[in-house]
């Protein structure tokens, strides 16, 4: 069967196409299944890329569990932005996540919103304390200091909204509470952005123990308590001695996540989810906690106290022992079957508490028979041991000894995903698998290593701590700069597909504009040499061997170039080579494929007339090297082939060198490295040859926030810390965003048959994309960033010589209606790195306890950017054709569906479509169910002349037996009209069963078609044309056949043919979760379908059970 990911799949579909109304709109619904298809071969595929942040979307589709109407997709996804040193592996492996089910998680800001004085209960709202401190309110008995000082901290006053995020079956969103309590005493829920889903918390006492989310299709998602924070003890090490911190940790438990437990469609289809609560080794139950984790917190250096500089700086290392209660997904159940998530019986080696990896995902049908098993194979990345004793607990065995193997130097990683078929028994020859390769040339250090850049990624530095700034001596100061030689440690770089194809991924560090970060100013320089016929080159012959040589011009690395972290007299230079032939390195090419004897590129240092070889590389190599500053260099490509087998028409090669040099013009961008990775190139192979190659060039990169390491607090304490006071903001899951990205689609060897470009084209086609920049207007450093919707929207896509697409946007902001005020309650005030200009003002604020609260006040609000104009210019020879589409959103914020579109074609003709939804039609029933996306009336115009109208009527279907009738609103009829003629009913729906599945339908003045459903109402088993449901029900009672299968069901359905001779009866037999196994047409002629152990179509048989077709599936890695 096919592995596909779907969010919601309807068993039958009567969706109308509103772009062009035609007679096909008025057809009866396509309820009956199509003949089974041959399963698609699981070939290698192009890895999609989020161009805005350069992160490739790598994943494996696992399974989609179907219900009557709903479906539950399960897949594995990999985040290829890099791995932090302290990062822990999930139960599916480092960097991998299991996308299944759903969850609501929260990031607590201040104190939990539902705590005693939490944000939704605190009687002193942020607006109130602002008015008190601004003296807008003058009769408050307590005064500003009471609400903003130590007393407020001691009483745990919460002035910040918690940050809630949900994910559920492919949908995701974010929301917070505000403190507008006119309607709801606990405040209103504000969505970022507003997606018009209904979000309702449920309470046990004052605690939020559950949620209900209703999406805009009326599907209801219910959540209940998941992971729970139990307690934390904070310890500190002062001069090497561990002691309980004066801050004393956190002893108030709260719920961190809520698990999705059920999904219900408007028609009553239900998918349920179950969770395990693992028991910690040595404990009798999972309660009150089942996880104990010790983390190394921030390191601090106190340089001043009581206003005086300390002669001996006080260094404090903090540790937190946290106890939590967590859950793991164990089962998903639909009406058709279930998925079971099975953990390994053996504990993992890379976790402090006893935990297990996910070993199997098993698929069972509704009879609890195993039909498929997905096996996950894992290994461990083994890092060097810790070099010092590491604290993990109090009492006996409280340390990990130096040079000892432990969980601190191990990380679980995913090696392979194997699909096993168990339908009719396991046949190993039907198995197939995906396997994964990682960059193990550079291994991550142990999890408490100090070799980290500002973002926490590995930088290979020999630091003795993590405090990077200011008055610390050079020997103590931590080097937190990004080092590209180490950032890609253990990153996924190879995917092997079931048929043997391979995708290889190449990465480089994020880089971009750092004018607002206090770092030296550099700009990225690049030198590229292309081995193409149009570039100057030499050609020499030696017998039957021909040699091509290409040179770059001389280029100089200045003395002010960015110094290497290991040698200030050298600069780190990156290189990346490519050829669409002559792969002398990659084992995927066989010797017979070679068309050249050798191909390499050289880097030379030039001194007058002397040229000295620095290093030689294979044309396929990429990496970095150190070269001397203040020197001149040049690049050479040399290609040797026999009998002109390599030519400059069919084959192409190039190499690029880049480095950071002094920026002579400060008005332009200043480049440096940022944390995390972006994809540089993607190469795709079949079993033998390169089939596709893409590379990416990024420009106008930026980050949203920068680290803060210095603070001034009460008692005149100056403090430098190792962890930024301010969270380093991400934009669409990456630390960097790019305004312009060029995708280079390279030609590959033409004789392979895999050419990606048109005949006669150049060696590279470029696709240039530009994006809207993210808003860097952050209300307060550390405030929740809620304007991610601003950046990353595609503005322009230009395909060289082909077309361009420009997109404009309309911005909808709710600053005045849905804003949230927040206040950071803290007695420490943070300054930019090296910035002490505001020191006196800050000290005044600290000492008199009455500072301007605007220092810690923020205001956030939601918004959206929606596309409202798209211009497409396509080229046909010398002609340019322009098409313009305008989109209007006239009902914001009640819904964000387009209510009108206007299309102008290249001839100037204008077509307009107007769509009215339940909100415009005031359909209270559908609005109550939150089914906001149902189009009820559609009108099409050409040049302002009405051409067609379509109207869908929804209503209730009730009968004598309420148990067998649906309770929600269903489609009753579809009417239409041409031009200004009166509406005429075209299709009528006469009845549905209790799951909203159509029973009887007809075209106006046409014959009635009746459907019977079986297998517990999961599949249509009969289509009876020219008969009403009452006529059919008199012969076969639908309710009584739900548990029938095989011959019994076939004999029962035969009674329809015998009892309704005037009707045409078609019947269908199934194997649940696999597919239809027999179809019988009105003539009584049958077709049979046979499946292999994976549930893929194997044979098709005719009525006499003669084989008509046979399908074989061959995978290289079986």
Q: How confident is the model at residue 473 (pLDDT cuts 50, 70, 90)?
A: low
Out of 767-776, 1012-1021, 1075-1084, pick the least confident. Answer: 767-776
Residue 594, pLDDT score: 60
Q: Can you tell me the mean pLDDT for 949-965?
A: 74
Average pLDDT, the chain: 86
Pair of tokens at residue 338: 């279930």
Residue entry with tokens 């939601």: 862
Q: Is the pLDDT of residue 3 over 50?
A: no
Residue entry with tokens 């090696």: 415
Contact (Cβ atoms closer than 8 angstroms) between residue 480 and residue 640: no
Contact (Cβ atoms closer than 8 angstroms) between residue 635 and residue 552: yes
The DSSP call for residue 250 is: B
Residues above pLDDT 90, as percent of the chain: 61
| Closest residue by Cα to residue 777 from 791, 762, 768, 787 | 787
Contact (Cβ atoms closer than 8 angstroms) between residue 198 and residue 222: no
Q: What would you report as the CA-atom Rg of the chain, rounded to the nearest whole angstrom?
A: 33
**Does the pTM of the predicted model rise above 0.85?**
yes
Residue 764, pLDDT score: 72
Q: Can the peptide bond before residue 893 be classed as cis, meaning omega within 30 degrees of 0?
A: yes
Q: Is the pLDDT of residue 649 over 50?
A: yes
Residue 181, pLDDT score: 92
Burial class of residue 607 (count of CB atoms within 10 Å of its CB; 0-12, 13-18, 19+): exposed
Residue 1005, pLDDT score: 86
DSSP state letters, 549-617: EEEPPPEEE-TTSPPPSS-TTEEEEEEEEEESS--SS-TTS-GGG--SSEEEEEEEEEETTEEEEEEEE
- At 821-879, the pLDDT tens digits run 998 887 666 654 434 334 555 555 555 555 566 667 888 889 899 999 999 999 888 88
DSSP state letters, 1033-1067: HTT--GGGGTT--HHHHHHHHHHHHHH-TTSEEEE
Residue 520, pLDDT score: 60
Pair of tokens at residue 705: 């926030």
Residue entry with tokens 């991550």: 444
| Closest residue by Cα to residue 949 from 16, 10, 92 | 16
Q: How distant is the alpha carbon of residue 913 from its chain centre?
A: 33
| Closest residue by Cα to residue 220 from 168, 174, 176 | 168
Residue entry with tokens 């390599």: 646
The DSSP call for residue 455 is: T
> Under 8 Å CB-to-CB from 1048, ≥6 apart: which residues?
none
Contact (Cβ atoms closer than 8 angstroms) between residue 393 and residue 453: no
The DSSP call for residue 407 is: G
Q: How far, in Å, CA of 898 to CA of 867, rounded?
A: 10
571 vs 712, which has greater pLDDT? Answer: 571
Residue 315, pLDDT score: 82
Q: How confident is the model at residue 664 (pLDDT cuts 50, 70, 90)?
A: confident
SS3 27: coil
Helix (H) or strand (E) holding 97: strand 96-99
Contact (Cβ atoms closer than 8 angstroms) between residue 315 and residue 300: yes
Residue 763, pLDDT score: 59
Q: Is the pLDDT of residue 670 over 90?
A: no
Residue 45, pLDDT score: 55
Q: Can you tell me the mean pLDDT for 407-431?
A: 95
Contact (Cβ atoms closer than 8 angstroms) between residue 744 and residue 766: yes
Pair of tokens at residue 709: 């390491």
Contact (Cβ atoms closer than 8 angstroms) between residue 663 and residue 521: yes
Q: Is the pLDDT of residue 22 over 60?
A: no
Q: Is the pLDDT of residue 768 over 90?
A: yes
- At 250-270, the pLDDT tens digits run 668 999 999 999 999 999 999
- At 94-117, the pLDDT tens digits run 999 999 989 999 999 999 999 999
Q: How confident is the model at residue 303 (pLDDT cuts 50, 70, 90)?
A: confident
Q: How distant is the alpha carbon of residue 181 from its chain centre?
A: 35
- At 885-917, the pLDDT tens digits run 999 999 999 999 999 999 999 999 999 999 999
Q: How confident is the model at residue 1004 (pLDDT cuts 50, 70, 90)?
A: confident
């Amino acid at each position: 069967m096919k592995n596909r990911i779907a969010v919601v799949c309807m068993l039958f579909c009567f969706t109308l196409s509103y772009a062009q109304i035609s007679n096909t709109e008025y057809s009866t619904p396509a309820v009956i299944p199509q003949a089974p298809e041959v399963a698609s071969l699981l070939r290698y595929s192009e890895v999609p890329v989020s161009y805005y942040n350069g992160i490739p979307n790598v994943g494996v589709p696992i399974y989609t569990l179907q219900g009557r109407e709903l479906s539950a997709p399960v897949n594995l996804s990999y985040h290829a932005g890099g791995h932090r040193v302290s990062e822990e592996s999930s139960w599916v492996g480092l960097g991998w996540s299991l996308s299944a089910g759903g969850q609501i998680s929260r990031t607590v800001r201040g104190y939990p919103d539902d705590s005693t004085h939490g944000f939704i209960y605190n009687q002193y709202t942020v607006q109130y304390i602002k008015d008190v401190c601004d003296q807008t309110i003058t009769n408050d008995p307590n005064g500003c200091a009471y609400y903003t000082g130590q007393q407020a901290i001691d009483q745990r006053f919460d002035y910040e909204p918690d940050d809630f995020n949900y994910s559920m079956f492919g949908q995701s969103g974010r929301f917070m509470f505000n403190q507008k309590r006119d309607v709801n005493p606990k405040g209103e829920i504000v969505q970022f952005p507003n997606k018009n889903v209904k979000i309702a918390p449920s309470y046990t006492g004052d605690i939020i123990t559950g949620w209900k989310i209703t999406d805009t299709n009326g599907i209801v998602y219910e959540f209940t308590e998941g992971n729970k924070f139990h307690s934390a003890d904070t310890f500190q090490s002062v001069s090497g001695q561990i002691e309980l911190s004066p801050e004393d940790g956190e002893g108030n438990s709260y719920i961190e996540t809520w698990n999705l437990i059920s999904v219900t469609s408007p028609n009553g289809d239900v998918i349920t989810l179950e969770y395990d609560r693992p028991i910690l080794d040595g404990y009798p139950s999972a309660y009150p906690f089942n996880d104990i984790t010790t983390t190394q917190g921030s390191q601090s250096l106190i340089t001043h106290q009581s206003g005086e500089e300390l002669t001996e700086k006080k260094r404090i290392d903090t540790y937190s022992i946290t106890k939590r209660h967590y859950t793991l997904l164990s089962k998903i159940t639909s009406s058709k079957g279930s998925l079971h998530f099975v953990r390994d019986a053996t504990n993992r080696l890379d976790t402090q508490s006893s935990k297990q990896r996910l070993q199997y995902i098993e698929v069972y049908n509704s009879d609890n028979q195993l039909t498929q098993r997905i096996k996950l194979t894992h290994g461990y990345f083994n890092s060097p041991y810790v070099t010092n004793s590491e604290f993990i607990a109090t009492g006996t065995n409280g340390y990990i000894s130096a040079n000892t193997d432990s969980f601190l130097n191990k990380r679980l990683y995913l090696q392979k995903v194997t699909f096993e078929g168990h339908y009719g028994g396991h046949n190993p020859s039907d198995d197939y698998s995906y396997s994964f390769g990682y960059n193990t040339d550079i291994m991550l250090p142990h999890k408490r290593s100090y070799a980290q850049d500002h973002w926490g990624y590995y930088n290979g530095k020999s630091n003795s701590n993590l405090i990077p700034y200011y008055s610390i001596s050079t020997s103590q100061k931590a080097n937190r700069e990004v080092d590209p030689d180490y950032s890609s440690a253990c990153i996924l770089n190879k995917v092997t597909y079931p048929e043997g194809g391979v995708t290889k991924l190449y990465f480089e560090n994020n880089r971009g504009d750092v004018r607002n970060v206090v770092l030296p100013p550099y700009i990225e320089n690049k030198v590229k040499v292309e081995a193409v016929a149009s570039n100057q080159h030499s050609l020499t012959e030696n017998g039957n061997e021909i040699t091509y040589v290409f040179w770059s011009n001389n280029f100089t690395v200045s003395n002010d170039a960015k110094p290497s972290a290991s040698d200030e007299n050298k600069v780190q230079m990156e290189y990346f080579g490519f050829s669409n032939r002559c792969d002398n390195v990659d084992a995927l090419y066989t010797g017979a494929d070679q068309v050249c004897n050798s191909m390499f590129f050289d880097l030379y240092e030039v001194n007058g007339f002397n040229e000295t070889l620095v290093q030689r590389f294979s044309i396929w190599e990429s990496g970095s090297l150190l070269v001397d500053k203040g020197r001149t260099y040049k690049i050479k490509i040399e290609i040797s082939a026999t009998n002109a087998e390599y030519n400059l028409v069919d084959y192409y090669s190039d190499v690029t060198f880049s480095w950071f040099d002094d920026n002579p013009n400060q008005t332009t961008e200043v480049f440096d490295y940022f944390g995390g990775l972006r994809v540089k190139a993607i190469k795709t192979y079949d079993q033998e040859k390169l089939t596709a190659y893409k590379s990416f060039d990024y420009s106008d990169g930026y980050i949203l926030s920068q680290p803060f390491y210095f603070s001034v607090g009460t008692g005149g304490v100056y403090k430098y810390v190792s962890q930024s006071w301010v969270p380093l903001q991400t934009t669409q899951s990456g630390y960097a965003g790019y305004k312009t990205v060029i995708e280079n689609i390279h030609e590959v060897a033409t004789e392979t048959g895999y050419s990606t470009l048109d005949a006669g084209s150049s060696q590279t086609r470029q696709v240039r994309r530009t994006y809207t920049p993210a808003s860097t207007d952050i209300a307060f450093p550390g405030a929740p960033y809620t304007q991610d919707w601003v950046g990353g929207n595609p503005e322009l896509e230009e395909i060289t010589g082909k077309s361009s697409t420009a997109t404009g946007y309309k911005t909808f902001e709710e600053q005045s209606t849905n804003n949230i005020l927040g206040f950071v309650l803290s007695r420490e005030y943070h300054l930019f790195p090296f910035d002490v200009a505001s020191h006196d003002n800050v000290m005044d604020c600290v000492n008199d306890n009455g500072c301007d609260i605007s220092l810690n006040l923020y205001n956030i609000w939601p918004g959206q950017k929606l596309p409202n104009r798209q211009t497409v210019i396509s080229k046909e020879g010398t002609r340019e054709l322009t098409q313009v589409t305008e989109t209007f959103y006239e009902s914001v914020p009640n819904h964000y569906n387009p209510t009108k579109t206007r299309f102008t074609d290249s001839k100037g003709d204008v077509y307009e479509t107007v769509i009215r939804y339940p909100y415009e039609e005031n359909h209270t029933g559908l609005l109550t169910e939150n089914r906001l996306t149902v189009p009820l009336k559609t009108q099409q115009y050409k040049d302002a002349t009405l051409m067609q109208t379509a109207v869908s009527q929804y209503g209730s279907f009730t009968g004598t037996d309420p148990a067998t009738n649906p309770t929600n609103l269903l489609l009753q009829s579809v009417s239409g009209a041409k031009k200004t003629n009166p509406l005429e009913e075209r299709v009528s729906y006469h009845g549905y069963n209790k799951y909203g599945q159509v029973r009887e339908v007809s075209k106006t003045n046409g014959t009635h078609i009746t459907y019977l459903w079986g297998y517990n109402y999961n599949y249509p088993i009969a289509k009876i044309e020219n008969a009403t449901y009452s006529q059919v029900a008199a012969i076969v009672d639908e309710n009584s056949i739900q548990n029938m299968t095989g011959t019994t069901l076939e004999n029962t359905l035969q009674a329809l043919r015998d009892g309704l001779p005037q009707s045409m009866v078609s019947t269908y037999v199934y194997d649940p979760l696999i597919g239809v196994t027999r179809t019988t047409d009105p003539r009584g002629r049958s077709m049979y379908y046979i499946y292999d152990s994976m549930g893929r179509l194997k044979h098709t048989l005719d009525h006499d059970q003669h084989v008509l077709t046979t399908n074989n599936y061959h995978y290289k890695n079986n």
